[in-house]
Chain A
Amino acid sequence: MQANDLPTFQEIYETYKNKVFNTVISYLQNQEDAEEVTQDVFVEVHRSINTFEGKSSLSTWIYRISINKSLDFIKSKNRKKRFAFMSSLFNDAGELKHDSPNFFHPGVILENKEKSAILFKAINGLPENQKTAFILSKVEGLPYAEISEVMEMTVSSVESLLFRAKQNLQKELSKFFKD
């Protein structure tokens, strides 16, 4: 892709802002964190747009940045949580809540709010790759071909990941079921 073919930064932002935000919020399950990471994604896009070689589509490239930034954020947050936990052992400074609060995705219809919150809790327990494939497919609605490009794997691998993700989710959900 030639530099002249690239849209302006504002055009990129307007085209992808909701896609990025929707992906990131599904990953992080927190509005404030999602806003912060969405900013980081676009700062990275702005910084690296001149090095974008056009081997993949702009959309695929931006989705990859969104996923990597989300994963980095989760890792950094987990490190902080571990540190806080270790500190609490020495300081005895209050109780630590390890259960994340319920997440209500803003795009879910009202009647599904409670059930989707349970599903998001279960999604959080999936391995990284399965979580990515599930979010891109179920929340972002990407076709398997595009998911395979974003995740740099074959379409059959994506299908397999999604199959395993659904199996794991069903197992996890059966623990949440109350008679």
Chain B
Amino acid sequence: MDMNKEKWINEVMNSLDDVKSAEATPFLYNKILNKIGSGALEYTPIKLVWLAAASFALLAVLNFQAMKKTGSTNRTEIQEIANVYNLVNTNSINY
């Protein structure tokens, strides 16, 4: 190998001998904290997702049952009131 070339390669190979550590920029810590803060939304625990889904399902069932119960109660109550006031449930007109 050419002496100059060999010398040059050795110099390039040794160019990192006295390298100092690169320093992190001053505001990096705040950026990391921001990322961690916003990351909380990305990493929603799976248990929490299931709990929310179960809550919605339970709420829907309870609503349905309540509506069903309210519907039947209303009908009987109206019937009772109609009986008390002697209201006739027909389409005929009485003079």
Contact = CB atoms under 8 A, between A and B. Distances in A.
B32 A13 contact: yes
Contacts, number: 95
Interface stretch (A72-80, A84-92, A165-173): A165-173
Interface string B22-53: 11110011011001100100010000000000
Q: How large, as a class, is the contact surface on chain A?
A: 35 or more
How big is chain B's contact interface, by range? 20 to 34
B9 A116 contact: no
Interface in A1-33: 10, 13, 17-22, 25-26
B37 to A, nearest CB: 10
Interface string B3-31: 01100110111011011111111001101
A25 B19 CA distance: 13
Contacts of A47: 39, 43
Contacts of A25: 22
Given A108-B16, A115-B15, A173-B12, A19 B32 contact: no
A21 B15 contact: no
B28 A169 contact: no
Interface in A122-159: 122, 138-140
Contact of A119 (B4, B5, B16, B18): B16
Interface of A: 10, 13, 17-22, 25-26, 34-35, 38-40, 42-43, 46-47, 105-109, 112, 115-116, 118-119, 122, 138-140, 166, 169-170, 173-174, 176-177, 179
8 nearest CB pairs, A to B: A107-B20, A115-B15, A21-B24, A116-B15, A112-B15, A17-B24, A22-B21, A22-B22
